[in-house]
Amino acid sequence: MIPYGGKMSDISESETPFPHRAGNINKMMYEASWNQEENEASQRYFDWIRRLCSFMTPHVSKSPREAYFNYRDLDLGTNNEGFTSVEQASIWGKKYFKNNFNRLVRVKALVDPGNFFRNEQSIPPLSSWRKNKGD
């Protein structure tokens, strides 16, 4: 658990891409690691961390559930192979960035229109969305 509050609560949600400020008591990070290489061990740890997340669900943000991008939660959704629409990416993007998501889509379109910088949950550039919509 990482405590929040203090000066962090005084900074507007829209001042930086990181919006989880006023009203948040702490950030929780769940992590599991193991050295065994067999699939059975991996599955055991995946199952354990999912049970922990389910147990904690009543005690974390909801309506909507939110997350910190540096601790990505792939259960929120992931980009498709190839094209992912802005609408689809907003499913997890708004949980990470709240009202900053649309602004970050526009920034992505300006600085990385070819989507060079991407990961499983990266923000797609707005130009991809426009091409798909036929604009």
Each residue's pLDDT tens digit, 51-88: 998 898 888 877 667 777 777 888 888 988 878 899 99
Question: Mapping DSSP to helix (H, G, I), strand (E, B) and coil, where does residue 2 land?
Answer: strand
* Residue whose C-alpha is closest to residue 104's, from 79, 82, 86: 86
Task: Decide which of 134 and 49 is more confident.
Answer: 49
Kindly calculate the radius of gyration of the chain based on its CA atoms and give it in whole angstroms: 17
Q: What is the mean pLDDT of residues 22-44?
A: 82
Catalytic option among 30, 45, 71, 96: 71
pTM assigned to the model: 0.67
Q: What is the mean pLDDT of residues 85-100?
A: 90
Contacts of 79 (CB under 8 A, 6+ apart): 89, 118, 119, 120, 121, 122, 124
> What is the number of residues in the chain?
135
71 is catalytic: yes
Cβ 4 vs Cβ 25: under 8 Å: yes
